[in-house]
Structure 1
Amino acid sequence: MEFSPFNNVIKLCLQGMNMEDKNIPEEAERLFLQAWEEAADDHEKFLAAHYVSRHQKTPADCLKWLETSLRFALKINDDTVKSALPSLYLNISKCYEELGDIEMSKKNSGLALLLQNHPSDKGPFYHGTKADLQIGDLLTAGGTSNYKSELKMNHIYFTALINGAGLAAALAKGDGAERVYIVEPTGIYENDPNVTDKKFPGNPTRSYRSEMPLKIIGEAKEWAKPSPEDLQKFREKLDDSKGEIIN
């Protein structure tokens, strides 16, 4: 299941988060409840319940919504959702701790730790760029960030979503053609901390990074390209971003 910011339930969640940023919690809660009411499948229900939980007044009510979110998450055999399980279990653990159930708190914190540092995603993986490369070439860390020209990257980044790699190619610096390469990690990799458990639970964009090279094993020829309008919105968002890149 590919994460899409254009999904209506996800749009409502984004609007709710915007209200949280503006310190209007009542409107945020209304939007999250609307997302829950409109959720039509397990993935949408998992997301909406997660956000509704953030506006509960008691640990018991928060726990109820978190466990609802977990119930739907466990129904889905999808790496986008699996990446959210550590934070779900950790938040459930905190609720049990507040309720005085130390045994259940430890059980859930143990599950969170077990899943936290072991991405289950097996790909295929993609890297978007404007560089003209060949099959067998290695992509290595040490390049300049596409988003902050003064920053030298200690990791090489990639994704399991071809359209996400296509967006990265469109945003990449340079005048060359947009290229999406199929890549294979040559060493261990981890969830990209710049996107994991930020706005959305887990790693919905299935974005990863590694200190080890990526080997190019092929090139994708087709992906959904963003419209000029959407691309401009992404560029403006990057220009306005005040967040620090975790490198």
Structure 2
Amino acid sequence: MEKTIEGLRQKDPGPFFHGTKAGLQPGDLLSAGYGSNYGEGREASFIYLTATLDAATWGAELARGEGPGRIYRVEPTGPFEDDPNLTNQRFPGNPTRSYRTREPLRVVDEVVDWAPHTPEDLLNMRAHLDELDRQGIEAINE
């Protein structure tokens, strides 16, 4: 199934999600240009979205900052592409349905009934990211 976004056809119709710790309201725009949640926290050239709650859950749980993790349903305002940080390195074929865009994402609403990962899974993921940092491997390549 395809969805048209500003005249372009996108193969994934969504719905789309974004995990973060930021408190947002419907209509707010999420944009690139802020520090990444991963690696050295460099300014991100892209904003990330996913069509799976599991991937958004990781984003919410691993986001930097204070406060609870949050997941928002979002609408892309422009074209998006497969997230090469996942699809080319860890999950060929993009089963996580993870994407990135240079265009803003519009917040539709907050998802309030999401289930967190187990404490063990979260600990393992944090250990994996810490190991990447220790090796000097940037988790987000832009």
TM over 0.5: yes
Give, in angstroms, the shift of residue 173 of structure 1.
Answer: 1.0
- What's the TM-score once normalised by structure 2's chain length? 0.86
Q: What's the counterpart of residue 6 of structure 2? A: none
Displaced runs of 4+ in structure 1, greater than 4 A?
none
Q: What is the root-mean-square deviation of aligned Cα atoms in Å?
A: 1.8
Q: What's the counterpart of residue 135 of structure 1? A: 26
Query: Of residues 207, 223, 227 in structure 1, which corresponds to 2:98?
Result: 207
Q: 1:227 to 1:192 in 2, by over 3 A?
A: same
CA distance in 2, matches of 1:154, 1:240: 24
CA distance in 1, matches of 2:11, 2:73: 18
- Do the aligned residues in 2 keep the contact of 1:159 with 1:208 (CA within 8 Å)? yes
**129-138 or 141-150, larger mean C-alpha shift:** 141-150
Q: What's the counterpart of residue 141 of structure 2? A: 246
Compare relative contact order (CA 8 Å, sep 6+) and give the higher one, 1 or 2.
2
CA distance in 1, matches of 2:36, 2:66: 16
- Do the aligned residues in 2 keep the contact of 1:182 with 1:218 (CA within 8 Å)? yes
Give, in angstroms, the shift of residue 119 of structure 1.
Answer: 5.0
- Do the aligned residues in 1 keep the contact of 2:10 with 2:79 (CA within 8 Å)? no
For residues 163-209 of structure 1, the C-alpha deviation after alignment (integer angstroms, 9 at most, x for no partner) is: 21112101111121211000000001000011113233211111000
Q: Which has the larger radius of gyration?
A: 1
Q: What's the counterpart of residue 108 of structure 1? A: none
Identity of aligned residues (%): 50
CA distance in 2, matches of 1:173, 1:144: 9
The structure whose residues are more often helix, as a share, is: 1
Q: Where does the alignment leave 5 or more consecutive residues of structure 2 unmatched?
A: 2-8
